[in-house]
Structure formats: C-alpha cells, structure tokens
C-alpha cells in the first residue's frame, strides 16, 4: 500500500517570480524564489505550478537551486502555461513539489554519459548538463546530443555554445537555415560516433515519446543495454501524489514511480493509451 502523502504536498507554497528569461518565441525560463524552502529537487523531478485563478500544471525543474530558488522552462501551449509564460518579475505563483523520481545519477560514476534531448526535453536535462559540465557526476566522459525542429527552436543556444561546450554538443535540426552549421536530420544521426564502447554507456533521454522510442531503438541496435537507457514520461498529471489516477500507466503512477523510468520499464507501458 502507498504511504499517505504529507499534507504540504497538496498545498502550494507561494513563490515570487524573480526573473523571466525569454528562450524562444513561445518559451520562457522563470526563476522563482519560494516563500518557504522545500526539499532541494533532484534533476528530473517536477513541481505542480499554480497560476492563481487559471490552473495548475506539471513543470520540470530546469534549475534545481537550493530548495528556495528554482528555475522552470515553460512552453505556452494552453491556458495555464500561457498565464505562467506571461508572468512579469514580481508576480506570485504557487508551487507544490518536488515530486517524482528523477534521473538515476547513482548509475553514472565511471560510465560514458550520453545526454540526448529533443526540443523542450532539454529543460528537465539542464540540471544534469550543468552537473556534467561541473564534473560532479563521476562519469568517465559525457556528451550532449540535441535535436530540434529548426535552429530557432533550439533551447539554450547560448549556454550550449559557451558553458556547455566541454560536452562537445552535437546539434541536429529537421529543417536547416543557410547559416546552420550542425547536422540535419533526427538526433539519432549523431549517435553512431557518440557511443564508443556500448558496454560503458548510460544514456538519459528526454523529448517527445516518438523521439525517445527511436533513440532507444537505435541505442539498443548498437548494443547499449535497455536498462542503461533512462527516459522521462510526461503523461497528464494532476495531483502529483498518486491519488487522481490521470497519469497511471499499467501498475505505475508516473507522478511518483516516474517520470523517469528505465527503458526496460517504460517500453511495455508506452503501448497504454493516455487517459
Ligand atoms: C512530469 C512533467 C513535466 C513537464 N515539464 C514541463 C516543462 O518543463 N515545461 C513545459 O513547458 N511543459 C512541461 N510539461 C507539460 C505541461 O504540463 C503541459 O504543457 C501543461 O499541462 C499544459 O497545460 P495548459 O493548461 O497550458 O494547456 P492545456 O489546455 O491543458 O493543453 C494544451 C495542449 O497541450 C497538451 N498537453 C497537456 N499536457 C501535456 C503533457 N503533459 N505533455 C504533452 N502535451 C500536453 C494538450 O493535449 C493540449 O493539446 C510537463 C508535464 C509533465 C507530466
């Protein structure tokens, strides 16, 4: 039987928007100062962000801070994300969390880490990228592979070319422009040269489900083990604490048993239609 969630997981902590950084036409990063410190999130966890009077949505931490200051990178796709992405500095929001199972970083020491992102999937990976550039993960090596629809849809372009350059980023787009210097095609075109010895690889992958499926298939075709591939499943989540059942996939509640799962756990579940 599941343990009862603490009451505080159901009541939002108020947070002040300290800074708003525009990333893309439809995407911003909010830096939040929480009025009461929460547990420090681990990379890959998420919060339920509440836009008062509008709604509450699951949003990953794109910066894990120290529990009182966190970042979220948010794409405007509907009413609640519109309210969040149009916040000005000084605005008040609610935040519940951190929730869920993040990336399993305990597997990384001594391994070759491949961080593989598609589109907005780079947001939940950003704290891992930052730890990898800081050299705190204990990996033998690390590389970043990012795919996007087009150059102007590539998240964190400045950070990729400056602070993250030590991860030898391999960038690909579906539709290039005349000035584009990266690859053209799916992110998998960069995998062959990135893998090296497949027995040493740990891959963490985030993006649209179809992208994660194709990347996992390509990694396994190149002899990376399914349990050395981690993916993040973004199903419709409403309570965040395994009560409402919206995110249930087979026996798992992806809000508490995920969103990060190993590929051998995730693959059979992806055949289940979202509710
Ligand atoms: C664990 C988790 C982490 C997430 N992290 C982020 C993040 O870091 N940044 C971010 O911008 N978004 C993130 N999302 C997605 C975000 O929760 C949805 O975009 C949001 O719920 C949409 O709400 P809305 O009211 O703005 O739009 P709605 O009107 O509810 O939806 C607008 C459109 O978005 C689609 N949609 C709704 N929820 C999702 C979802 N979970 N995944 C894909 N499409 C969805 C709907 O089907 C609809 O087509 C995350 C979701 C989960 C479950």
Average pLDDT rounded to a whole number, residues 16-33: 97
Q: Residue 275: which pLDDT band, with cuts at 50, 70 and 90? A: low
**What H or E segment, with its residue span, contains residue 194?**
helix 191-195
High-pLDDT (> 90) share of the chain, %:
79
Question: Hey, which of 96, 234, 240, 242 would you mutate to test ligand 1's pocket, going by the most ligand atoms within 8 Å of its Cβ?
Answer: 234
pLDDT tens digits along 80-116: 999 999 999 999 999 999 999 999 999 999 999 999 9
Instruction: Assess whether the C-beta atom of 234 lies below 6 angstroms from ligand 1.
Output: yes
Query: Model confidence over 138-163: pLDDT tens digits?
Result: 999 999 999 999 999 999 999 999 99
250 ligand 1 Cβ < 6 A: no
Contact 35, 115 (CB under 8 A): no
* 33-67 residue pLDDT tens: 998 877 889 999 999 999 999 999 999 999 998 87
The full set of domain ranges for the chain reads: 7-99, 105-269
Q: Whose CA is nearest to atom 32 of ligand 1?
A: 78
What angle is formed at CA 88 by the lines to CA 77 and CA 207, rounded to 5 degrees?
30
Q: Does domain 105-269 have CATH number 3.20.10.10?
A: no
Which residue has the least CA distance to atom 35 on ligand 1? 77
Query: Which of 42, 47, 56, 78 most suits a substitution to test ligand 1, by most atoms within 8 Å of the C-beta?
Result: 78
Q: Which CATH superfamily is domain 7-99 in?
A: Translation factors (2.40.30.10)
């Amino acid at each position: 039987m599941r343990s009862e969630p603490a009451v505080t997981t159901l009541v939002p902590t108020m947070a002040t928007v300290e800074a708003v950084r525009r990333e893309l036409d439809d995407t911003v990063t909010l830096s939040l100062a929480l009025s009461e410190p929460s547990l420090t999130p681990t990379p890959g966890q998420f919060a339920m962000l509440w836009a008062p009077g509008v709604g509450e949505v699951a949003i990953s931490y794109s910066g894990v801070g120290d529990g009182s200051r966190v970042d979220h990178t948010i794409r405007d796709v509907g009413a609640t994300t519109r309210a969040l992405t149009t916040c000005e500095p000084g605005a008040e929001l609610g935040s519940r969390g951190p929730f869920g199972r993040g990336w399993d970083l305990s597997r990384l020491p001594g391994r070759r880490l491949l961080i593989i992102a598609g589109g907005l999937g780079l947001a939940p990976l950003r704290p891992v990228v930052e730890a990898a550039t800081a050299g705190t993960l204990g990996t033998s090596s690390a590389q970043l592979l990012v795919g996007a629809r087009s150059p102007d849809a590539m998240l964190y372009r400045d950070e990729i070319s400056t602070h993250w350059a030590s991860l030898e980023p391999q960038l690909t787009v579906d539709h290039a422009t005349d000035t584009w210097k990266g690859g053209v095609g799916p992110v998998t075109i960069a995998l062959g040269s990135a893998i090296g010895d497949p027995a040493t690889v740990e891959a963490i992958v985030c993006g649209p489900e179809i992208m994660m499926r194709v990347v996992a298939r390509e990694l396994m075709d190149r002899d990376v083990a399914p349990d050395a591939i981690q993916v993040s499943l973004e199903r419709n989540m409403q309570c965040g604490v395994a009560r409402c059942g919206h995110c249930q996939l087979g026996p798992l509640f992806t809000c508490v048993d995920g969103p990060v799962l190993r590929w051998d756990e995730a693959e059979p579940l992806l055949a289940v239609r979202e509710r």
